[in-house]
Structure 1
Amino acid sequence: MASGDAAPADANEGCVGPTSEEAGKASACAGCPNQSACASGEMRKPNPEAAAIKEKMKSIGRTVLVLSGKGGVGKSTFSAQLAFGLARAGKRVGLLDLDICGPSVPLMLGLSGREVHQSASGWSPVYVDVDSENDEDCELGVMSIGFLMPDPDSAVIWRGPRKNGLIQQFFTSVDWGELDYLVIDTPPGTSDEHISIVQLLKDSLEEDDGAVVVTTPQEVAMMDVRKELNFCKQTNIPVLGVVENMAQMRLPVNSLRFVSANGDEQTETALAALQEKYPELLNMDIALDVFPAAGGGPKGMAAKFGVPYLGSLPMDPNLQSAAETGKPVLEGSAMAPLKAIVDKIVASAKLTTSSGASQEDAAANGTGVISA
């Protein structure tokens, strides 16, 4: 299936894709509710905005789509922290929030209440200052429908065509300037918005561009994330890797709150007893699998699909606090693994452009770009 041939969500099994020459005519099309629309050839017509989008994307080094077939797995949190991490590494970064109905990126970047300004060159992103690791100030540009709403609690009650029209406008009208990375936070699922994103970007994505797929460890999440990985396979989006989020909770024992069976506060009594009888426990952490991994977990799922496993992020109160206050994670159990994941994403481009490493080698060491 050619790039951009995303099958409609209600398509028959074996769909050849709406832009295929056989669309609406192949045996798999019989009885499909989309047969007439596909046979009309409308989907094979070139998108008049494709050339404009391709021209816009020339100033962007790498495009990273953050995907997940499941909502609530921390995709927007990861997108925000990935953008922060890349900016702290000295990269010029843009973060595009395409979750039209649930735009949480402005809050997670500390930009709530800000507005977009328009100039002769298009919409100007809203910028947040980031302290880089070498103590230089870096600007991180952000665009979201959240900046266009009169009230952050306003509901976006739009049908698909209007949402898709705004996505197209984001790609054609935002003046990012020169970027090393454009991180795109997408809504959950594999339907309208995802199809629009793929069709609009199909002529613009380069060899080092691709998707990071986020999941939590339990089967109820991975069953939808497998659909997302298959979506990437059908649309020829390279998968940079899988990130396992909320893998485990680790907390210092001395930071815990203790209560009795009926809910009475017992923290002071419990800590005093530990200090007297088992003081060494107060220097330990507890580890709790809130979402026990199903089967081989996300790492096994990545291996099954032949894509890199980028690592796991624990449930960390510091990460939650960072998302609420619009800050990068600079302490806690999630800091080191998050930095390692950012480093792998950065290194994946070097492997494919300068080191000559094969895709098989990249998959083995978990840092390469693999086309699903």
Structure 2
Amino acid sequence: MEAAAEPGNLAGVQHIILVLSGKGGVGKSTISTQLALALRHAGKKVGILDVDLCGPSIPRMLQSQGRAVHQCDSGWVPVFVDQEQSVSLMSVGFLLEKPDEAVVWRGPKKNALIKQFVSDVAWGELDYLVVDTPPGTSDEHMATVEALRPYRPLGALVVTTPQECTSIFSSGGGEELARHAGVPFLGSVPLDPELTRSLEEGRDFIQEFPKSPAFPALTSIAQKILDATPACLS
């Protein structure tokens, strides 16, 4: 039986949720961002750990590019992305000199940074920590899962799209995968230009577009997670 790790900087984190995908470009970081915002609007205190090292897009989605990361005695201090300080973010994007700088690192360096991100970010008290993982099943993806395993995450949310060679407006791929794997299907998010535009402009989609067809899908996913977890801090 695997022993739980010393909590350290994760001592105040009630629940950890990993967001995974089998490949890039399926909307994993979009779901990570919107899930965090939906949980925030439900009154929860949320952190986002962006360990998608080769594509750290969440700072742009939350209009936080160029923000400085400071150090404290416990490690890195995450960046707050809202005035109420309800959502905090740590991303490799904050460590790059330029937002569009390519991350060309060998595997061991990536894996070491992932482990450092897991242990050395001073999150404080959080209801949920949403971890935006690298896409696929590469070394850094497995390093993320292994680094977090001792902290006993609440679970993982797998983001998928319908099978290849199909219309972009198809649906049902995720539901079929969930049924095959014997895990709960949380929902399907329709393609929505307003969602895309809000991400490009760093706007709060959950707050600004309640009439969008994607809004009920995203808030329903967040509510299912809330319903499945014990009472949190907030």
Contact 1:96 1:185 in 2 (8 A): yes
RCO comparison, higher one (Cα < 8 Å, 6+):
2
Unaligned runs of 5+ in 2: none
Give 2:157's match in structure 1, choosing from 195, 199, 212: 212
Distance 1:200 1:320 in 2: 32
1:300 paired residue number: 176
Give 1:91's match in structure 2, choosing from 33, 44, 54: 44
Q: Could you list the per-position Cα deviations for residues 133-176 of structure 1 after superposition, in whole angstroms to 9, with x for gaps in the alignment?
A: xxxx4521000010011111211110100001111111121100
Change (3 A) 1:200 1:69: same
2:168 paired residue number: 290
1:326 paired residue number: 202
Range 307-316 or range 191-200, more displaced: 191-200
Distance 2:134 2:177 in 1: 21
Distance 1:326 1:83 in 2: 14
Secondary structure class of the residue paired with 1:94 = strand
Establish whether residue 172 from structure 1 lines up as the match of residue 119 from structure 2. yes
Amino acid at match of 2:51: L
Give 1:123's match in structure 2, choosing from 70, 73, 76: 76
Change (3 A) 1:171 1:80: same
Secondary structure class of the residue paired with 1:111 = coil
RMSD across aligned C-alpha pairs, in angstroms? 2.1
Give 2:216's match in structure 1, choosing from 325, 330, 336: 336
**TM-score normalised per structure 1:** 0.58
2:91 paired residue number: 144
Distance 1:345 1:304 in 2: 21
Shift in Å, 1:304 = 1.2
After superposition, where does 1:3-14 map in structure 2 within 5 Å?
Answer: none
Shift in Å, 1:70 = 1.3
Shift in Å, 1:292 = 2.5
After superposition, where does 1:176-191 map in structure 2 within 5 Å?
Answer: 176-191=123-138
Secondary structure class of the residue paired with 2:159 = strand
Unaligned runs of 5+ in 1: 4-45, 131-136, 222-288, 354-372
1:348 paired residue number: 228
Contact 2:20 2:157 in 1 (8 A): yes
| Structure 1 ranges of 4+ moved more than 4 A | none
Q: Could you list the per-position Cα deviations for residues 227-263 of structure 1 after superposition, in whole angstroms to 9, with x for gaps in the alignment?
A: xxxxxxxxxxxxxxxxxxxxxxxxxxxxxxxxxxxxx
Shift in Å, 1:89 = 0.9
After superposition, where does 1:271-282 map in structure 2 within 5 Å?
Answer: none
Contact 1:90 1:138 in 2 (8 A): no
Distance 2:149 2:213 in 1: 38
Amino acid at match of 1:342: A
Percent same amino acid at aligned positions? 52
Shift in Å, 1:51 = 4.2
Change (3 A) 1:220 1:93: farther
1:310 paired residue number: 186
1:260 paired residue number: none
Q: How many residues align?
A: 227
Distance 2:26 2:146 in 1: 25
Shift in Å, 1:199 = 2.0
Contact 1:316 1:334 in 2 (8 A): yes
Distance 2:44 2:152 in 1: 19
